[in-house]
Each structure stands twice: as C-alpha cells, then as structure tokens.
Amino acid sequence: MSLAEIGATANGGVCRLALTDEEIAARRLLIDWAEALGLSVFTDDIGNLFFRLAGSDPEAAPVVTGSHIDTQPTGGKFDGAYGVVAGFEAVEAMLDAGAAPTRSVEVVAWVNEEGSRFSPGMMGSEAFTSRRPIAQILEVTDADGITTAAALEAVLAASPNLERREFGTPIAAFIEAHIEQGPVLERNGVPVGVVTGIQGSRRFRVEVNGEAGHAGTQPMAERRDALLAALRIVDALRATFAPDDAKFTVGLFDVTPNVPSVVPSRAYFSIDLRHPDQATLARLGDAIAAVCADHAAPCAARIKEIATSESLEFPEAIRATIAAAADTLDIPAIPILSLAGHDARQLHYHCPTGMIFTPCKDGVSHNEAESATPADLAAGTRVLAATLVKLATDV
C-alpha cells in the first residue's frame, strides 16, 4: 500500500510508468526498505534493481525472486508490485526466522515490464538475459521523443552510489510471484497457482488485394472482391485451427474504399494466434500462408508475421518445489497456465524458472480496480518464502 501511494490515481489505481519521476520515488522506497533490512543493493546498465541477502557461500549463484514496479497508465496496485513486495517480505521472514541459506537470496525489480511508455516492454529482463541487444533498447523513444537512454540516465543519476552489475550474471533459480490477472484461482477458491508455463502467441497482418468495381453494373462472376476473399480466408483459418482448440482472433479488419456502392479493392486484417503447446503453435502459424493462398483467388493475399513469442513450460523440478512448499504449509494450490507474458518468460532462457500465482478480484487487471485479499497475497508469499529457502539451502 505504501508503494501504491507513489503514482496513486484518483480512482484508486496507480500510474507509475517506467523511468519516470514516480518510478524514481518508488525505487527510493525499495532502496530504503533494503537498507533497513541490511541488504546490499545493485543495479545494472538498464536500471534493474537487485537487493541481496548474502548466503553463507558468496561464490554460489543466488536464488532470485521479484517482478516489476512499473504499471500501465490506468494500472492497479498489484500487477508486478506484488512480486517485488512479496520478495521483500520473504527475505524479511527469513531474517526473522534466523534462516542461514547457503546461496544468497535476491529480490529484483526488472525495468519496464509493461512497455506502455517505452514499447515493447520487458526491457530490463530482456537486456539482462541478452534476449534483445541493449543498444536497440536504448534507442526506443516514448511519445514525446525522449529516448530510453535519456530517461534511464536520470533514473540512474538519482541513486548514483549503487554498484553496477554485469548483465547475465549466473542465477541458480528465478521465482516470480504475480497476481493471476485472470479468474481461474478465484473461481476454484484456491489461493495459490503453481504456474506450468506461459502461453505463446504469433501475430500476423494479412492484406488481400482485388479490384474496385461498380456495385450495380459489374457482373458477379467478373469481380475481384477483396472482402469476400478475406472472409473465405478467415473462415478457412477458423476451420484449420478449430481441431487444436487454438485461440484465434481477427480483431482488426479494414476495408478499402469502405463505401456502400463500390466492390472492395482491399481488405486488411490482423491474426492473433495462441496455443500453450509450442509445437502446435508453430505448426498452426506455419499453415496460415497456404490457407491464404488457397482461398484468395481471384484476389491476391500477402501475409506478414509481425510478432512471435514461444509457448514455454517451466521445469518440472521448480514446479514440484513450489507445489511441495504449498503442501508443507497446508496451503491449497493447483497447476495453472499463464495466459499473459511476464519477466519470467525471459528468465526461463537464463536459469531454472517458475512462477507463483495468487487470485485477484474477478480476474481484473491492467485496471485501476485491480484488487486482491491480504489473506491470498500472504498465502502466496508464504509459499514463495518456503520455496526460496528450499532452493537456497539445498545446494
């Protein structure tokens, strides 16, 4: 709730965009918390913040937990912030309990997960894991033309004494706690979800080109109606994806010239395709071009893939450790698939990674009304703490 005061909106939400004055204030608060707990604080060249509870073996790679503190413009109190605060709470609990982990335990706040000011998001975790080159990230500008590099300089200058860490330092395991942002846990009355993986997506744009004509005089058989061709393609895609129960959405559809008495010369539409199984996602996405070609005649279709992210499955060992922690604490937990992306998506390619979900009210997120109960958040944090202790102690 203290963190949510920074960037608080009149409607009870939070607007704390990446690399702003609000974020500088929020970082100051985290640093204060860390210093009060005796943690050492590090940053890196993209501004990720790491808070370290030293283990007995300083050479051993740390166990890391955390999420992000930036929000959408009309965001809530819990998306991202919960994972960071839960990390602090877990570390504080370890200190209170006199835990003596072998590995260091670190809390991280990854920079710009949301991507609403500087797009795309996940800049901090992508830079750290070298999934995207830092030079490319620093060039990104916001709506006012300010570069990430310039905004970042101000953020780093606000805490000039922090030790800088290299990107890609070894991590023994990464565990991200996050609100579910969907309704599954709440509907099942279960406080904790052991996340099995993250659903991937492929996004395309299709342009169908035909020829304009007079709606009254041009014979039907001679028309090259781009809209009718696009509708055939969309229906054929629906039939292609249906057996695999893929999520298929055409959310953008544009017709040219879009007037009542002219045969459409051009249709332009989006395809958003998602499936939790990567092999299925790849196969279905690869089938789109042929479906377009088969159903475009007498028009011509052009297809372009504009974004892709793989479906991934977190390692069984990490999932089992989280599930065992919940079991030991007598906290009900169920497996759950993440339908949204998270920093854990990037860390998955760097170290053994897992996620813990907690319910949020009515599944609402990216919304000022985002809410969660203290009891559910505490349950998730207890499971997180037990998981971290296990991973940091059994070396």
Which residues form the interface with Zn ion (CB under 5 A)?
79-80
Query: Closest separation between CB of residue 342 and Zn ion, Å?
Result: 6
Q: What is the dihedral of CA 369, 371, 335, 172, to 10 degrees?
A: 110
Residues 6+ apart with CB under 8 A from 189: none
Choice between 70 and 207, CB closer to Zn ion: 70
* Least distance CB 362 / Zn ion (angstroms): 17
Contacts of 319 (CB under 8 A, 6+ apart): 194, 195, 196, 335, 354
| Closer by beta carbon to Zn ion, 79 or else 368 | 79
The pair phi, psi for residue 270, each rounded to 5°, is -100, 155
Residue placing its CB nearer to Zn ion in the complex, 66 or 80: 80
Q: By the 8 A CB rule, do 103 and 63 touch?
A: yes
Q: Which tokens hold the place of 308?
A: 């892709």
Nearer residue to Zn ion within complex by CB, 20 or 181: 181
Strand 312-313 versus strand 192-198 pairing type: antiparallel
Query: Which residue lies nearest Zn ion, judged by its C-beta?
Result: 80
How near is the Cβ of 270 to Zn ion at its closest, in Å? Answer: 24
Smallest distance, Å, CB 92 to Zn ion?
22
Paired strand residues for 204: 271, 305
Local structure of residue 62 (DSSP, 8 states): P
Q: In whole angstroms, give the CA distance from residue 55 to residue 61.
A: 10
CB 328, min distance to Zn ion, A: 27
297: tokens are 């005649």
Residue 223 contacts by C-beta under 8 Å, 6 or more apart in sequence? 210, 211, 213, 263, 298
Minimum CB separation of residue 79 from Zn ion in Å reads 4
CB of 198 to Zn ion, least distance (A): 12
3-state secondary structure 68-93: ECCCCCCECCCCCHHHHHHHHHHHHH
3-state DSSP assignment of residue 311: coil
Taking the complex as a whole, the smallest distance from the CB of residue 73 to Zn ion amounts, in Å, to 14
* Closest to Zn ion by CB, 69 or 127: 69
Query: Torsion angle of alpha carbons 386, 392, 394, 395, nearest 10°?
Result: 170
- Kindly tell me which of 72 and 265 has the beta carbon lying closer to Zn ion: 72
Comparing CB distances to Zn ion, the nearer of 79 and 370 is 79
Residues composing the chain: 395
Q: Which is nearer to Zn ion, 264 or 341 (CB)?
A: 341
**Residues 6+ positions from 188 with CB-CB distance below 8 Å:** 334
Name the residue nearer to Zn ion (CB basis): 104 or 112.
112
User: Shortest gap between Cβ of 117 and Zn ion (angstroms)?
Assistant: 15
Give the integer Cα–Cα distance in Å for 27 and 50: 11
